[in-house]
Structure 1
Amino acid sequence: MEATAKTLPTIRQLPPNLINQIAAGEVIERPASVVKELLENSVDAGATRIEVSIVGGGTEMIRISDNGCGMTADQLPLALASHATSKLPTDEDLFHVSTLGFRGEALASIGSVSQLTIRSRTDSDDAGNEIQVRGGVIEPPQPCGCPVGTVMEVRNLFFNTPVRHRFLKTAQTEKGHIVEAFTRIALANSHIHFVLNNNDKPLYDLPVTERWSERIAAFFGGEIADALIPINSDDSQIHVQGYVCDPSVSRGNSRMQYLFLNSRHIRDRSLQHALGEAYRGLLMVGRHPVCFLRMSMPPELIDVNVHPTKLEVRFTDGGRVYSRLLQTLRHHFLTTDMTQRVGPAPVAPDADLTPAPRSELGMPVRAEQAHRQSVIEWARTGNSPAEVFVSPARGDDSGGGGSAMAPAPDAATRSIPSFGSVPGFQPFPGGGSPPMPHEAAPKPTTDSASDENVAPWDGPPAASPDDSVIDHPAVCHLGFQVHNRYLVTQDEKGMVVIDQHALHERVLYERVKTKVLESGQSLESQGLLVPEPVSMTPAERTAVLDHQDTLAQIGMEIAEFGGDTIVIRSYPAMLKNKPPADMLRTLMESVLGGGEKPEPIELLNHLLSTIACKAAVKAGDPLRPEEIRALLEQRDLYNDTHHCPHGRPTALFFSRDELDRMFGRLGPRARTSK
């Protein structure tokens, strides 16, 4: 059989116009890409006012005018040439990029797939010049009348590449993408006046402002503006400044995370992960934080030449940038009272907006000073009170160690895990706890026959000579239980309603986290007299065996048994009333349901929060007065007690002004009553 001769393909140089059309596929994806590239050019030109007008979602017309430095007649044809730019005077400048654009591809790519007209004039010229490009064909520049600056008009985008045109969405969808591109540039440059018109109707008119929060409010409204928390940190090279939103305002995706590096909007997975870690325990699962952060650092520490869209960057020391952002946010959260408030929080015009000082432990300085004094007194007297629910039993003036409180009869049928029930884990020597820095304990009860005989409230505080001014302690821990699930108490400025399960869960989580993550120890475990076999699917069995070491840190020892069965040899002591097999499956749900293999630290955090949730008191559990008091006392001694580890708020704060307003004590009606 005669072999068929193969014809060698001919290698040829692609024409410049085809090269530009291929490059346009990377740089110009849709009309929003044109707006982004042209806006960046206007910002680099030093403009103080930029106006954008679009028609038909940008496919019919895009016009961007600015009052920047402009271009001369001989510069116009060169600006349209491929890889021609004024932003890299030398080769070394590629590693010290300080402008938004630098690749010299945008105008050539846009001109190859549209009908482009450029009018420009410099301050030193008496008249401007105009140049037109039709599908990559450049016409000679002509004189024209125009103000100082540049006007770029793009019509019939993708008219000569019908395949690309067919992939465009509706005009409304494309307009949405343009608004997003406009938002990113306008947010990063609040010192520039921006205007956006759609079909000859104004959408945005954003004057210059020195307060970045005003520019944010103009785009995202009052809900976001009212929840902004200012952030500012500087370590001489990495400066982080801007706003994050209160955890009560979140989104189901990360699109509301605006990160700007040297005025350039970027997307970086490591920085988004740092945001998530900073908000860990403050947001519900599946929710994402909202932020507007501006970072600045020397250009030589970053590489922006990663992708033609310039949306991705690389850091010389990514770990340092990650740590700076994470530490900045966590430090601010730890030093701010983030208890969720009900109703507006009125602030006097001359009020001090500086948050109350807090210690490194995250508790108010005033409370910590009192707490330290109590510890000194505790050490001096040698008292070693036994720890029950959270705090020691007190009310004995003999100076000896207090005994554990006897549980009420109805408590015998339920198990309320105590804060001291983690075997071998005591925060103070001697196995006890120091007295808490608060008011005297409630009156000791002599009749424990039933909970009905235990008064849940010691009565209102004694009246002050001037009943309009009552001097309360920093936190009043006399509280009572409502519906066996909420605790009601007060502080200096209002009333606080607390979810008992959420607060107990947070305190337990902080204690076990300190032990496991910071001290490097393992939770106390209880060996099973008879190891419990558990039948699992192959995927479940593999996941469990892959994380044996992490499970051992929380007190659960796992071993192979054979087939698809594993055995549990030991179990966390604080979960003694939970079936080991059910608890193991609950712990591993996140491993199998997450889609990706979690990092060990993430898995350990999840396991600890799950254990805290299972061990905490539940809604419906009645608490004795001393248990209520002890739980409230712990609120000041741990970090982030305003949210449970899963992001639910632990408390709602009603200010006294808000209560007065709700009861009609503020306003005209207040004059008719007392």
Structure 2
Amino acid sequence: MGKIHVLDRHVAELIAAGEVVERPSSVVKELVENAIDAGSTAITVEIKNGGIEYIRVSDNGCGIAREDVPKAFLRHATSKVKAENDLESIATLGFRGEALASICAVSHVEILTCSEGEALGTKYSISGGEEESLTDAGCPKGTTIIVRNIFYNVPARMKFLKKDVTEANAVANVLDKIALSHPEIAVTFIRDGKQTLHTAGDGKLLSSIYTVYGREFANGLIPVDYSLEGVAVRGYVSSPQNARPNRNMQNFFINGRFVKSRTAMAAIEEACKGSVMTGKFPACVLHISLSCQAVDVNVHPAKIEVRFIQERPVFDALYHAVKSALLSGDQPKQVSLKPRDMTRSARPSNPFEFEQTCKSKFASKQEPANPLHVNHQPSLKEAAPAALEKKEDCQPQISIPKTHAFQNYVADGVNPFDLYKGRLQVSQSFIPAADANTEKKAQTAQQPKPQPVVSKETDSAPEDGKRAFTEPFEGSSTKFIGEAFRTYIIMERGEDELVFIDKHAAHERILYEKLKAEKGAGAMQYLLEPITVALNKLEYDAALQNAKAFLEAGFEIEDFGTGNILVRSAPQYLEHSDIASIVMEMAGYLLEHKNDIYAEQMDWIYHNVACRAAVKAGNINHPQELIALAERLEADPALRYCPHGRPVQIVIKKREIEKQFGRV
């Protein structure tokens, strides 16, 4: 007996439906695209319980004639393609005639529709591919489709759906793309009874971007408008200063359709070379218009992947469009002070130059200097009276750029500002020539006695703020020699070894171990002004679902609505300017590695934070900072490798050096 047999119609439809309907967001995408093809100017989407139990899509389009309603739910029934030649110039978003048939095969569907000129509308119900009823109904022009209990008859697919909040955010992500692809359409999204998205539908792309991604993102964009060889590119690209740690905010639309294109990604990243830092990626919302015959969208049922007949014209148009936009937008930044900043001293160009700020300035309730580096941050109400009590004491008013992160192993209670005061007493051999004049100016001011930036475990510094750098460490025969290439600490150990320490690798390993041991508790520092971070809906969902992981890394985050999260605290080791970027990286990583075990996720996060916070090769460091770092390594021989596996230090024997000089 033969083994091959024809599948039952119902089974065949369930298999076919699996290609189109993967999750509730797939249903929303297909229904909204049909609404756009119907000429709608306003579309409303409502979901409940992530869209698993209830989806409603309403539009004000042309509607469907009564006699066409049952046919619309048949497989391969469509009004958009009639002949083979039509496939070569597809201008609509849908054309396969599979969406409604696939949706009704795995759910309960009800449609209310009324076309132009009809006195009554039509109500039609179908479940599991089987027609239930067809009746007249009163309804406005347009179409409303309600989908209930998706995958009710396919338990194997139902168990693969995610939590309600995850599925709802996937729907929100789809609608974000729809809103950006068609700014002329007013898109409204209602989630469990609460409206979370509403675009104006005024045809202005920037207005839609502002609504979808927020003010911070929209303000960092540069307009793009360019045409080349029949390919037109318009939209916006982020300025180099607002580049992101991943490609999740790159949006490409070809003839009004959201697509993922390696050609487009490669073109804009090539255009940004030399402008955007390595490891960063430009964000963009770019509309690409070209002939329908030049692009094939009939690649996959989801219609996200496309093929170009000729990729070079598309690449060139995108490259030159973004390149010219960056050149025109790369003007000197105009800085405007906020009203509350008008009473603050101007930030010095060099950390050694500062003004003396006395009682009169404290009386204006000025913010305390360097608020991010102290262990205890008094409120402004506490800080101002304390300053007024010291009538004769004038504190230097300076916003110190934290270029070094050695506070991590500095003794508790030592103000990092002392680091800069201590530098005023360093010998000229440790100060760059460019800072010589600054050094002399700073020494003319009456300063409190500088305090050494050393660990409790290290030797006390001499009274003049310096230590005898060639003295052996306490209880050790190791001596500090100097620093090579602003990267490697040189130590002499005993009488027969030279030790070279990679200061970045060493500091990174120390911070990694500290973060891991404290689980964020000791490293966390509250920010005077919380930072708003814009994410796409999927990253946003990943960040909020992993708030515990952020907290264990020293970040306190909370929901700020519409794809934004608020960062209220961060590890004290980090530069303030790095916080938003690191949060974006963490959200992107947690999204892409959501199936990894928690310990592996945390290990990556600790690695990343430690690497970003550690002192960098090329930084100018005080010799005492280098000594403190070397002593920390000397005290713990287990710190042999950085978190990435690179050696922290190497040892060269005296005999090897003598061989090179022919002494042995």
TM-score by length of 2: 0.51
Q: Which runs of 5+ in 2 are unaligned?
A: 340-431, 440-616, 622-664
Equivalent in the alignment of 1:215 = 208
Does residue 42 of structure 1 match 2:35?
Answer: yes
On the 8 A contact 2:183/2:201 being kept in 1, the answer is yes
* Secondary structure of the corresponding residue to residue 283 of structure 1: coil
How far apart, CA to CA, are the structure 1 residues paired with 2:434 and 2:156?
Answer: 78
Q: Show CA shifts across 1:600-642 (max 9, x none).
A: xxxxxxxxxxxxxxxxx95559xxxxxxxxxxxxxxxxxxxxx
Does residue 320 of structure 1 match 2:330?
Answer: no
Residue identity in the other structure for 2:230: Q
* Secondary structure of the corresponding residue to residue 305 of structure 2: coil
Equivalent in the alignment of 1:16 = 9
Deviation at 1:194, TM superposition (A): 1.2
Equivalent in the alignment of 2:60 = 67
Does residue 288 of structure 1 match 2:281?
Answer: yes
Residue in structure 1 matching 2:72, options 79, 89, 92? 79
Equivalent in the alignment of 1:191 = 184
Deviation at 1:191, TM superposition (A): 0.9
Alignment of 1:131-530 (within 5 A): 131-235=124-228, 237-339=230-332
Identity %: 38
How far apart, CA to CA, are the structure 2 residues paired with 1:345 and 1:241?
Answer: 33
* Secondary structure of the corresponding residue to residue 288 of structure 2: strand
How far apart, CA to CA, are the structure 2 residues paired with 1:8 and 1:329?
Answer: 61
Alignment of 1:628-647 (within 5 A): none
On the 8 A contact 1:248/1:340 being kept in 2, the answer is no
On the 8 A contact 1:31/1:59 being kept in 2, the answer is yes
On the 8 A contact 2:185/2:203 being kept in 1, the answer is no
On the 8 A contact 1:115/1:133 being kept in 2, the answer is yes
Q: Show CA shifts across 1:290-332 (max 9, x none).
A: 1000010110111000010000111111011111111221223
Q: Show CA shifts across 1:430-468 (max 9, x none).
A: xxxxxxxxxxxxxxxxxxxx96999899xxxxxxxxxxx
Q: Show CA shifts across 1:565-594 (max 9, x none).
A: xxxxxxxxxxxxxxxxxxxxxxxxxxxxxx
On the 8 A contact 1:73/1:141 being kept in 2, the answer is no
Deviation at 1:214, TM superposition (A): 1.0
On the 8 A contact 1:82/1:105 being kept in 2, the answer is yes
C-alpha change, 1:253 and 1:618, in structure 2 (3 Å) is closer
* Secondary structure of the corresponding residue to residue 66 of structure 2: coil
Deviation at 1:142, TM superposition (A): 1.2
C-alpha change, 1:340 and 1:280, in structure 2 (3 Å) is farther
Does residue 100 of structure 1 match 2:93?
Answer: yes
How far apart, CA to CA, are the structure 1 residues paired with 2:438 and 2:21?
Answer: 69
Q: Show CA shifts across 1:505-533 (max 9, x none).
A: xxxxxxxxxxxxxxxxxxxxxxxxxxxxx
Residue identity in the other structure for 2:47: I
Q: Show CA shifts across 1:101-124 (max 9, x none).
A: 001110000000000011111111
* Secondary structure of the corresponding residue to residue 305 of structure 1: coil
How far apart, CA to CA, are the structure 2 residues paired with 1:144 and 1:336?
Answer: 55
Equivalent in the alignment of 1:28 = 21
How far apart, CA to CA, are the structure 2 residues paired with 1:210 and 1:315?
Answer: 27
C-alpha change, 1:280 and 1:121, in structure 2 (3 Å) is same
Equivalent in the alignment of 1:420 = none
How far apart, CA to CA, are the structure 1 residues paired with 2:133 and 2:165?
Answer: 36
How far apart, CA to CA, are the structure 2 residues paired with 1:33 and 1:287?
Answer: 30
How far apart, CA to CA, are the structure 2 residues paired with 1:46 and 1:236?
Answer: 29
CA RMSD of aligned residues (A): 2.6
Residue identity in the other structure for 2:131: I
On the 8 A contact 2:252/2:260 being kept in 1, the answer is yes
How far apart, CA to CA, are the structure 1 residues paired with 2:161 and 2:180?
Answer: 26
How far apart, CA to CA, are the structure 1 residues paired with 2:222 and 2:229?
Answer: 23
Q: Show CA shifts across 1:346-372 (max 9, x none).
A: 9xxxxxxxxxxxxxxxxxxxxxxxxxx
How far apart, CA to CA, are the structure 1 residues paired with 2:272 and 2:226?
Answer: 17
Residue identity in the other structure for 1:311: I
On the 8 A contact 2:200/2:207 being kept in 1, the answer is no
C-alpha change, 1:324 and 1:123, in structure 2 (3 Å) is same
C-alpha change, 1:228 and 1:452, in structure 2 (3 Å) is closer
Q: Show CA shifts across 1:473-509 (max 9, x none).
A: xxxxxxxxxxxxxxxxxxxxxxxxxxxxxxxxxxxxx
How far apart, CA to CA, are the structure 1 residues paired with 2:618 and 2:328?
Answer: 29
How far apart, CA to CA, are the structure 2 residues paired with 1:39 and 1:90?
Answer: 25
On the 8 A contact 2:224/2:233 being kept in 1, the answer is yes
